[in-house]
Amino acid sequence: MFVVGIGGTLRRNSTSAWAVKHALSVLKSSGSETQFFDGHEINLEMYDPGQRVRSPKAMTLIDALRRCDGLVVASPGYHGSISGLVKNALDYAEDLRDDPLPYFDGRPVGCIACAAGWQAAHGTLVALRAVTHALRGWPTPIGVTINSSAPAFDANGNCLDPAVAAALSLMSQQILDFASRSGRSKAQNTLEIAG
């Protein structure tokens, strides 16, 4: 199973980046292959649906999204919603619209929202789940909110809050469970062979 993580800010080791890394480490320990796109890797040119040529960085993201079996997406709460950086990265999924399984069709998506307060975190989580639905993905039943006004991770990325660690682990397990039951990988392989 291959799971893509997207999240973070242009500040290294942001709470949202650590949260994705933590979730991916849980998935990796269960045997999944993972790839993480942090804030610097998703610092892409604004998505332009009319542009036919993509930068190498954008193509790396698009190719990973095309072949993944699940995703983990985290955003900081910026003024009550998803950051422009994360939203722009998700907009590149539009390039998957003509695939046999378009966008995130049939794939579980774990959503994580981090903000310096619960209200902003919850609003951001709702926005992430709405974007996931619009891209035909399946948000995991548990979405994770992290109030970053108290440090959730130390300087090395170790989770300091047992409740956050438990929520991230449960979300990761739900990604594994859904992806393994959905048969998305088998369907994708069948469509690729048939195509």
Report the CATH number that the domain containing residue 111 is assigned in CATH.
3.40.50.360
Q: For residue 36, give both structure tokens.
A: 């993480």
- pLDDT at residue 183, as a whole number: 65
- pLDDT at residue 130, as a whole number: 97
- Contacting residues for 127 by C-beta, under 8 A, at least 6 apart: 75, 81, 82
What residues make up the domain containing 83? 2-194
- pLDDT tens per residue across all 195 residues of the chain: 999 999 999 998 899 999 999 999 999 999 999 999 999 999 999 999 999 899 999 999 999 999 999 999 999 999 889 999 999 999 999 999 999 999 999 999 999 999 998 888 999 999 999 999 999 999 999 999 999 988 999 999 999 999 999 999 999 999 999 999 876 544 444 334 334
**SS3 at position 76:** strand
Strands 70-78 and 81-82, by their bridges, are: antiparallel
Q: How far apart are the first and last CA of the chain?
A: 22
- pLDDT at residue 78, as a whole number: 93
Angstrom distance (rounded) from CA 50 to CA 112: 30
- Contacting residues for 2 by C-beta, under 8 A, at least 6 apart: 32, 33, 34, 35, 67, 68, 69, 70
**SS3 at position 112:** strand
Hey, how many other C-beta atoms are within 10 angstroms of the C-beta on 25?
16
Chain centroid offset of residue 42 CA? 12
Number of domains in the chain: 1
Q: What are phi and psi of 129, to 5 degrees?
A: -65, -35
